[in-house]
Structure 1
Amino acid sequence: MNFRDLGQLFSLRDIRNAALGLVVVLGGIGLSGLTAYAHLNGNTRLAGISAGASLVFVLLILIFVVPPLARNASKEASQMNLPFEFTAGGAVMLGLLMIVGFSAWNSGNNLLFLVLSFLAAAMIVGFFAGNLCLKKLDVKMRFPETIFAGQETPILVSIHNRKRLFPSYSIVAEVRGRQRERSAYFDDLNQILPKWLAERLSRAPIVRRTLSYFVHIPRNSSIENKNNHIFPSRGRFVIKDFELSTKFPFGFFRHRRRLAAKETELIVFPKVENVSPAVMSIPLDAGRLAADKRGSGQDLLSMRDYQPNDDLRRIDWKATARARHLMVREFAAEDEQKVTVYFDTRMPAETVKPMTLRQRIDAENSGKEADRSPRFEAAVSQAAAITAHFCNTDAEVRLITPGETGGFGTGSRHLIECLRRLAVIEPAMQKSGEHRPIENLDEFLDDPSESHNLFITSANHGDLSLPPATQIIEF
């Protein structure tokens, strides 16, 4: 255990709150003991003073100790499979119920008992009505093949109500999953804490995304909604289960029911932004040379006899008149456009705003990516835009990243494969003065194919011997 780095897990505010809470709790316990001692000895004056001071400490506990514990308990409860939870309105209602109940019992007032019965009946009816709404509901969700970060994604959500007598109201459909199997900061925790404790604390948090809301689902019928959902950032999202919830009818409780789902991995592609003018002006046509083989180019290769299924537009009527039978033109194929994109993931660490380990873990638990550098994300988007641009021009494109060398390919399938790789790519942070070698650079330098080379990097490239035709794009 590294005690020097252990301070990264605790902020000054945490230590202050812990010390204050400990003092308040111990003070309250001490005053309670003093009150009991004064009663045993018949010292009513001391007992009254200590009892009043105890109430002050109870108030301090309610202000400084209970709220942080309640927030932490709420976070833990959201990760657990609890059938219901109190809403803010339900907590207020429960407080009123206790106050009215105590007043009615203390005073014996029949009117207060009547009010108490109405409040209790509303709580009970609201609880069972909300629980009934989620019974016998089945949910299905359909996601598109391609999902891009920051863009509206159409998602179809269907709910079938199998109840024969009762409809369902105010149903919220959510999907729950993980963005990774374990926390991105496991290595940092492993250096500070024992391994068993680091593994327990580094479980990846469950991320929930609200997809649709159903006002009314009739009995024994199905309702399908199409909603546009925006995934804020690129990456991987593994669906674990579905969750249906409702606050019907009075909003005192939030009932929820989790339904098993087939584990499915969604890949959110990076944003595809506009390509820079420098990339648009690359003279790819200079590499389109006529080849000595048949194809769909513009240069005439030979003449031959007409065969069934030949394109009638290729019939040469002058040659047909001379040969007295149908003749067609054959054209030479053209060399394909080839583009190689190398994405250098090296990133100076000082470009990322420094955060403590505790802050990064809290950000991850809240569903945010603390270490996501806007500069690196813009570079990933630019690499995706370049790849998409050249794939749309029917060029053969190859994407090389550290740790993986792809092959040349064309078409939408190849583009999707390249975008999948860019969706999960991570930066390689470099400390000040550190020089990290570039992986797979030999594949880029020793490329025997005559392709246009694009090198995307944020590091110093002055000491690299790149091919002369390489265009360097800095981010």
Structure 2
Amino acid sequence: MRQFFSHRSVRLTGEGTRFVLFTLAVGVAAINTGNNLFYLLLAMMLSLIVISGILSEQCLRRLEFRRRVPDYLIAKQPATAELSVVNRKPWLPSFSLRIADVVDGAVIERGVHIPHLGPRSSVHLSYPLVVTRRGLHRVEGLKVMTPFPFGLFLKSAFVPLETTVIVCPEIKPVPEHLVRELVAEGHELAIPRRGQGVDLYNLRLYQPGDDSRAIHWMTTARTSKLIVRETEAEDQRRITLALSTVAPQRQHESFEQAVILAASLAVFFHDRGFALQALIGDREIPPASGEHQLYSILHALALCGMVEPAVAEPVRDTFNQVLAISELTDCSIAILPWPDQGIIHACRHVTRWVDMTEYQDMGHEARSGIPA
């Protein structure tokens, strides 16, 4: 019984408050006057309260819930969560169900409403899910509420349905001055073989399955035959993103902006076909390409935390080792949430570095350049 009532709560609606007050008034009048009609009216009103509690409880009983959320979320970007509700009662339906998420003890409305759920039936719903902070987002369970049958009381039940999802940092447009030169580099690295690139390799007749965007229309018009162009493959460019996690607690805002910038750069270069290598604090992610590599970097950025300068030797050592042995042909960007001298010394090998203490928003210019 203690466990049952710990998951149930009842509160009065506006109409319910007025009804209870009116019931008390009728009870007082019945006692004062001894009029049988007042007693009859009081009994009817009390019975409505009891019936309301019984029927609302039946609506909330024997319901099963399943929630499905994406493996990764991006902070401040809407995603879609799916919810499945099954009514296991053999005869009785459920009415007017409202469902909300419970996060850190707070009830968050998602706009999920089920007017009617018949016996032995199920319904599948989807609702938008927006999380504003990176890291592990833990949903403790569901809050199921119903005002059925008379709208006098709002009975709710807590359903422990824990879900944990990783929220990646917010993605913003990257400052153009940071990537203009780096993107331009590498287009001249053409390999004399067929592949993805920009330089012309060969012209040939169109074959079924060829991309229509590769049709060379000038030659097609001249020869009256569908001609497609093949390009020379480019040597895949590689970018190294190094994020220092060394910062005092007072630089929390700069650190979060640095994480956002690192995530935005990772998405930017991934979309342009770069192979990505990342150094996040003392964690190194070897170079690779593809969606799996991108989400490995975003996963590490989602869970990274600040390290106080007094205990940051492992981070400084890793920066020195990894950045020192990087190939000279690689492009690299180092992002510093706080100008730690040990990290700045390690960044002498990088192509470009950014000091995040110079600004607090990615829309402003950061102090950046090549270390002396």
TM range (shorter): 0.7 to 0.9
Q: Which amino acid aligns with 1:272?
A: I
Report how far residue 395 of structure 1 moved: 0.4
Given the alignment of the two structures, is residue 280 of structure 1 paired with residue 179 of structure 2, yes or no? yes
Contact 2:76/2:130 (8 A) holds in 1:
yes
Q: How does 1:138-177 map to 2 (within 5 A)?
A: 138-176=64-102
Structure with the bigger percentage of strand: 2
Q: 1:229 aligns with which of 119, 122, 129?
A: 129
Where does 1:162-201 land on structure 2 (aligned, <5 Å)?
A: 162-176=88-102
- The aligned counterpart of 2:56 is 130
Q: 1:215, 1:104 → 2: CA distance?
A: 38
Root-mean-square deviation (CA, aligned residues, Å) is 3.9
1:424 positional shift: 1.9
What count of residue pairs does the alignment treat as equivalent? 327
Q: Deviation of residue 333 (structure 1)?
A: 5.5
SS at match of 2:10: strand
More helix as a share of residues: 1
> 1:352-367, aligned counterparts within 5 Å?
none
> Structure 1 118/380 Cα, relative in aligned 2: closer, same or farther at 3 Å?
farther
Letter of the structure 2 residue corresponding to residue 271 of structure 1:
E
- CA distance in 2 between counterparts of 1:461 and 1:260 reads 45
Q: Which moved more, 1:245-254 or 1:337-346?
A: 245-254
Give 1:70-149 correspondences, 5 Å limit. Answer: 81-87=6-12, 89=14, 90=16, 94=20, 97-98=23-24, 100-102=26-28, 104-149=30-75
Question: Structure 1 residues 285, 97: CA separation in 2 closer, same or farther (over 3 Å shift)?
Answer: same
Q: Contact 1:338–1:452 at 8 Å: present in 2 too?
A: yes
Does residue 337 of structure 1 match 2:237?
yes
Shift of residue 155 of structure 1? Answer: 2.0
The share of aligned pairs that are identical, in percent, is 22
Change (3 A) 1:426 1:114: farther
1:461 Cα shift? 5.0
Residue in structure 2 matched with residue 473 of structure 1 by the alignment: 354
Q: Is the 8 A contact 1:344 1:457 kept in 2?
A: yes
Residue in structure 1 matched with residue 334 of structure 2 by the alignment: 455
For residues 98 and 345 of structure 1, the distance between their equivalents in structure 2, rounded to whole angstroms, comes to 64
Cα shift at 1:446: 3.0
Matches within 5 A, 1:15-94: 81-87=6-12, 89=14, 90=16, 94=20
SS of structure 1 residue aligned to 2:70? coil
- CA shift in 2, pair 1:334/1:467, >3 Å: farther
The answer for the alignment partner of 2:268 in structure 1 is: 389
Q: Work out the CA distance in 2 between the residues paired with 1:165 and 1:399.
A: 58
Separation in structure 2 between the aligned mates of residue 388 and residue 375 of structure 1, nearest angstrom: 20
The worse-fitting range, judged by mean Cα deviation, of 402-411 and 389-398 is 402-411
SS of equivalent residue, structure 2 residue 279:
strand
Distance 1:121 1:208 in 2: 31
The one-letter code of the counterpart of 1:337 is: R
Return the offset for 1:341. Answer: 0.9
User: 1:392 touches 1:411 (CA, 8 Å); kept in 2?
Assistant: no
* Counterpart residue type for residue 344 of structure 1: S
Matched with 2:306 is 427
- 8 Å Cα contact 2:246/2:340 also seen in 1: no
Q: Secondary structure of 1:283's partner?
A: helix
Larger radius of gyration: 1
Rounded Cα–Cα distance in structure 1 between residues aligned with 2:352 and 2:233 = 28
Deviation at 1:131, TM superposition (A): 0.9
Tell me if structure 1 keeps the 8 A contact 2:323–2:350: no
Summarize the Cα distance change of 1:213–1:235 in structure 2 as closer, same or farther, 3 Å threshold. farther
Letter in 2 for 1:446: I
Q: Distance in 1 between matches of 2:307 and 2:19?
A: 52
1:341–1:455 contact (8 Å) kept in structure 2 = yes
Structure 2 gaps of 5+ residues are 202-209, 215-229, 357-372
Structure 1 unaligned spans of 5+: 1-76, 178-204, 302-310, 314-329, 352-372
SS in 2 for 1:101: helix
Q: Does 1:267 align with 2:166?
A: yes
Query: Which amino acid is the alignment partner of residue 286 of structure 1?
Result: E
Cα deviation, residue 112, structure 1 = 4.0
Cα shift at 1:425? 2.1
Kindly indicate whether the alpha-carbon contact (under 8 Å) linking 2:141 and 2:163 is maintained by their aligned counterparts in 1.
no
Match of 1:213 among 113, 120, 139: 113
**1:244 aligned residue:** 144
How much does 1:415 deviate? 1.0
Counterpart pick for 1:256 among 156, 174, 181: 156
Q: How does 1:397-436 map to 2 (within 5 A)?
A: 397-428=276-307, 436=312
Give me the whole-angstrom Cα distance separating, in 2, the residues matched to 1:127 and 1:380: 51
1:212-245, Cα deviation, whole Å (9 max, x unpaired) = 2212223443322222222222221345544432
Match of 1:16 in 2: none
The residue identity in structure 2 corresponding to 1:428 is V
